[in-house]
Structure 1
Amino acid sequence: MNRICLVTGAGSGVGQSAALALLGDGDTVYLAGRRMEALQETAALAKAGTAIPVAADVTDPASVDALFARIAADHGRLDVLFNNAGISARSINFGDLTWDNWRDTMSVNLDGMFLCASAAFRLMRDQAPQGGRIINNGSISAYAPRPGSAPYTASKHAVTGLTKSISLDGRAFDIACGQIDIGNAATAMTKVMTAGVPQADGRMAIEPRMDVDDVGRTILFMAGMPADANVQFITVMATNMPFIGRG
Structure 2
Amino acid sequence: MEKQTGRGKFALVTGAGSGIGRATALGLAGAGYRLALVGRRAEALQETAELIERAHGLGLSLVQVCDVSLAAEVAQLFERIAREFGRLDLLFNNAGLAAPAIPIDELSFEQWQAVINVNLSGSFLCAQAAFKLMKTQTPRGGRIINNGSISAHAPRPNSAPYTASKHAITGLTKSLSLDGRAFDIACGQLDLGNALTEMAQPMTRGVRQANGEIAVEATMDLAHAVSAVLYMASLPLSANVQTMTVMATTMPFVGRG
Picking from 20, 26, 31, the partner of 1:20 is 26
TM-score, scaled to structure 1: 0.97
Picking from 123, 126, 151, the partner of 1:116 is 126
Preserved CA contact (<8 Å) 1:26 1:50: no
* C-alpha distance in 2 between matches for 1:241 and 1:57: 32
**Structure 1: any 5+ residue segments left out of the alignment?**
none
TM-score, scaled to structure 2: 0.93
Picking from 10, 13, 16, the partner of 1:10 is 16
Once the two structures are overlaid, the 10-residue window that deviates more, 163-172 or 95-104, is: 95-104
Once the two structures are overlaid, the 10-residue window that deviates more, 94-103 or 71-80, is: 94-103
* C-alpha distance in 2 between matches for 1:142 and 1:95: 21
SS in 2 for 1:134: strand
Q: CA RMSD in A?
A: 1.1
The answer on 1:39 being equivalent to 2:12 is no
* C-alpha distance in 2 between matches for 1:106 and 1:188: 21
* C-alpha distance in 2 between matches for 1:39 and 1:164: 30
SS in 2 for 1:89: coil
* C-alpha distance in 1 between matches for 2:172 and 2:237: 20
* C-alpha distance in 2 between matches for 1:175 and 1:17: 24
Q: 1:60-102 CA deviation, whole Å, 9 max, x = no partner? A: 1111111111110012110000000001222122232221121
Q: 1:37-66 CA deviation, whole Å, 9 max, x = no partner? A: 111111111122443321111011111111
Shift of 1:246: 4.5
The answer on 1:137 being equivalent to 2:147 is yes
* C-alpha distance in 1 between matches for 2:158 and 2:104: 6
The answer on 1:210 being equivalent to 2:220 is yes
Preserved CA contact (<8 Å) 1:134 1:176: yes
Instruction: Map 1:91-240 to 2 at 5 A.
Output: 91-240=101-250
Preserved CA contact (<8 Å) 1:39 1:53: yes
Runs of 4+ in structure 1 over 6 Å off: none
Once the two structures are overlaid, the 10-residue window that deviates more, 95-104 or 182-191, is: 95-104
* C-alpha distance in 1 between matches for 2:124 and 2:250: 32
Counting matched residue pairs gives 247
Q: Identity of aligned pairs, percent? A: 59
Shift of 1:229: 0.2
